[in-house]
Amino acid sequence: MGTKGLLVRLEVKAGYDDARAEDVLRSALAMGRAEAATTAWFAIRFGRSEYGIFEVFPDDAGREAHLAGPVIQALLDAGGSVFAGAPPIQELEVLADKLPATSSGEPVTKALLLTFKAKAGHESQVAQFLRDAQALVEQEPKTVAWFAIRLDDSHFGIFDVFPDNGGRFAHLTGHVPRELAKHSLSLLGGVPDIGMLDVVDAKWADQSAGAR
């Protein structure tokens, strides 16, 4: 299981098209495949000219090695020509996750990023709710990978990926969002923010050997 993560946000500089940005992200992923301590890596598209990377590591050492490695350096170098400045990099904790046992299967094309704030004094209950939600997600065959995350002391989230819109819709109408809505008044400080994302490219560790 990954316990540490990063969320990187990237904005394409004016005058450059999204195709060039996606080429840069795919090139970065090609280098990232050599990083054994990077458990999962997703290049994502938030919207026009807005991209990001969500990645997971087994521990702090793996995350620090990645931050000092060639992938981040390549993105920083590309920032001078494709992306608008150095990308903001947010460190996060992974509370629970679901990953395929192997790297075979359908490619992922769609993603969700839910973020929400816990009510004061209810942070530990929100964290436990997310850990408990893993068992529900394991029953969703079209939810290929799922991560419950803690962004800071009071902000939490869920990042998950799917093969298509049908898989994403099935998840949105499934147990976890329904339970989250049920507890929103008692545990959360407001309605969760939902980002409907596209997956540009992805890697996750194969538990037997190699990576997708």
Does residue 46 lie in a domain region? yes
Residue 210 falls inside a structural domain: no
For the chain, the domain total comes to 1
In which domain, by residue range, is 82 found? Answer: 4-204
Token pair recorded at residue 56: 């997971």
- What is the SS3 string spanning the chain? CCCEEEEEEEEECCCCCHHHHHHHHHHHHHHHCCCCCCCEEEEEEEECCEEEEEEEECCHHHHHHHHCCHHHHHHHHHHCCCECCCCCEEEEEEEEEECCCCCCCCCCCEEEEEEEEECCCCHHHHHHHHHHHHHHHCCCCCCCEEEEEECCCCEEEEEEEECCHHHHHHHHCCHHHHHHHHHHHHHECCCCEEEEEEEEEEEEECCCCCEC
Q: Does residue 209 lie within any of the structural domains?
A: no
Within a domain: 212: no
Question: What local confidence, expressed as pLDDT, does residue 210 receive?
Answer: 44
In a domain, 173, yes or no: yes
211 in any annotated domain = no
In a domain, residue 158? The reply is: yes
Q: What is the pLDDT of residue 182?
A: 82
Quick one: 161 exposed, middle or buried, by C-beta within 10 A (0-12, 13-18, 19+)? buried
Q: Which two tokens stand for residue 3?
A: 């316990």
Question: Residue 194: which CATH number?
Answer: 3.30.70.100
Which residue ranges in the chain fall short of pLDDT 70?
Answer: 1, 78-80, 101-105, 206-212
pLDDT of residue 104: 56
Q: Residue 163 domain-assigned?
A: yes
